[in-house]
A and B are shown apart, each in its own frame.
Chain A
Amino acid sequence: MKKACKYISVSKIGILQSLQYKVNTFFLLSIIIIPPLAYFFLWKSVYTQKEIIGDYKLSELITYYIISYFFLETKPHAWWEIANSIKNGSFSKYITKPMNHFFFYFFFAYSYLLSWWVFAVFGVIFLFFILKNYIVLPYGLLPFFLSFLFGFLGGVLGYIIEYILNLLSFWIEKPFAFLRILDLSVYFLSGSIIPLDLLPFKKIFLFLPFKYISFFPARIFVGKIENINIFNELFFLFLWIIIFYFISQVVFYLGRKRYSAPGSI
């Protein structure tokens, strides 16, 4: 219980910090609204020549983009602060605290996002309203619930992968290019630019764990769950999370041995 209290306190701080500049958080809405709107215009123009692309109708594809962007942009980030702290020595203050470094950042990242989620949901509702003729809603509560379950767990997986890459700072002088490449790759491999099942060599893309970040939840949301064994997918998602969590702990253990606390007392 005492252990849980520590992380609850961290979460409280995260929530308070995120509420500090509400107007600033409000402006972040553009990232939820604008890119799907741009895709809407593009695909609407494409669909004037074709009724179905892949197995998507126009309304399904537009809804897919909105939901996929929602999950991609509301996933927690293991911010570059971790990499920065290793480089400038402020990492020392974390390893001297009686807390698990991974969970400290994990709880902080999730709590910091709470107010953002509220704004983001309003952003999605706004898009659903202005594009109401091009939206499909899930049939019943189950796809809705499953979509959010996969979205949440996919976010956890994305966080762990990002955390591992941040820890590369123990070995690399400037890890930020790696992190940028990861950001870009996640953006594409999670299916936010184009649904993964429309890509050539789709079997490779559908094998990678990134699909759980936004492609999979968005596809469930638009009702494309035929040919999918939900329990199998859930099992694989948990497996990926466990594997990456294990890797993150090994990398942390090895990295800590190399840490030289530059510039800190």
Chain B
Amino acid sequence: MKTFKTILKFLCLKFKSHVAFRTDTVLQFFFGILDSLFAFLFFHVVYSYVDNIAGFEKGELYILTGTAYLLDNLYKSLFGAGIFSLSLLVKKGRFEKYLIRPFNPKLLVALREPRFDNFYRLPSYFVLLVYGFYLLKTFPSFSDILLYLFSFLISLLIYLVLHYNIVLLTFWIIEVYNLYYIIYDFYEFAKYPEKIYKGIFRKIFITIIPVIILSNYPVKFLLKERNFFFLFYQILILLIFYLIFKFMWIRGLKRYEGATI
């Protein structure tokens, strides 16, 4: 509880300092609108030629894309910059600053640089998602929404641990920041229905780099495909990646050499 309160206070302080730049805030909001508009236009063009993509109607695809954007931007606003900066901390030998504080260092690193720029974009992605429901002319039940939110939260944690694991390689490779962007590039696959992927690629994107489950599985609950196997599978993936994370963290710390006095 104390940790939670500290995190909340820290985020509030960061938020206050960020809103000081009002023009920037407005522009970030505008960025979100533009991003959603481009996604909207893209699928609008595609659906002017076909009725569905791998069984997904236009509205369903907007729900999927909206969810993918929401997840990605929520991650970037809370953890993205903090985790990315771990590679710099290790490279410059300043990481011990965070290890000696009376706070969980894993959480501290992840939350040290929240980027509210991405946070302002969330409403426009949410509008894209709601527009999908408007096109479908159906709305999910309350329990479906709850299951969606729970599945969304697990996806967020998987996404977080995936990034963390990549950045932890910084203990072994000096310059790793381009490797970090690989996950963002792979996330492109999360924006489309899972059924379009076939063969070996599908297997890889469900297990080793499980990006397609991040958006597709939560959306299943909104699209009345309620199957608890998906939830179970997400939790299993999260557990496996978390164990890898724990192992890499411990081994990485043993290799680390600080450079501060």
Q: Which residues of A are at the interface with B, using a C-beta cutoff of 8 A?
A: 20-21, 23-28, 30-31, 34-35, 37-38, 41-42, 44-46, 49-50, 53, 172-174, 176-178, 180-181, 184-185, 187-188, 193-194, 198-200
Roughly how many angstroms separate A28 CA and B201 CA in the complex, as a whole number? 20
| Complexed CA–CA distance, A28 and B177 (Å) | 9
Taking the nearest CB of chain A, how far is it from the CB of B214, in angstroms? 14
Of A31, A38, A50, chain B has the most CB atoms within 10 Å of the CB of A38
Contact B23 A173, beta carbon cutoff 8 Å: yes
A21-B175, A27-B176, A174-B23 given; name 20 further pairs at CB < 8 Å: A23-B173, A24-B179, A26-B178, A28-B178, A31-B181, A38-B191, A46-B46, A46-B49, A49-B50, A53-B49, A172-B23, A173-B23, A173-B24, A176-B24, A180-B117, A181-B27, A181-B30, A184-B38, A193-B38, A194-B46
Query: CB-nearest residue of chain B relative to A36?
Result: B188
Q: Which of A34, A177, A180 has the most CB of B within 10 A?
A: A177
Check if A50 sits within 8 Å of B49, measured CB to CB: yes
Residues in A with CB closer than 8 Å to B195 are 45
| B197 adjacent to chain A (CB < 8 Å) | yes
Q: Residues of B with Cβ closer than 8 Å to A? A: 21, 23-24, 27-28, 30-31, 34-35, 38, 41-42, 44-46, 49-51, 53-54, 117, 173-179, 181-182, 185-186, 188-189, 191-193, 195-198, 201
Q: Please name 18 pairs of A and B residues whose Cβ atoms are closer than 8 Å in the assembled complex, sorted by A.
A: A24-B177, A24-B178, A27-B178, A30-B185, A31-B185, A38-B188, A41-B201, A42-B192, A177-B24, A177-B27, A177-B31, A178-B27, A181-B31, A184-B31, A185-B34, A188-B38, A193-B38, A199-B41
Interface residue from B31, B186, B198 paired with A180 (Cβ < 8 Å): B31
In this complex, what residue of B is CB-closest to A44? B196
Q: Which residues of B contact A44 (CB under 8 A)?
A: 196
Shortest beta-carbon distance, B39 to chain A, in Å?
Answer: 9
CA distance A198 to B50 in the complex (A): 14
Q: In the complex, which residue of chain B has the Cβ closest to the Cβ of A26? A: B178
Q: A41-B192, A46-B49, A49-B50 are in contact. Are A34 and B185 (CB under 8 A)?
A: yes
Kindly identify which residue among B24, B50, B178, B186 contacts A34, using a CB–CB cutoff of 8 Å.
B186
B181 touches A30 (CB 8 A): yes
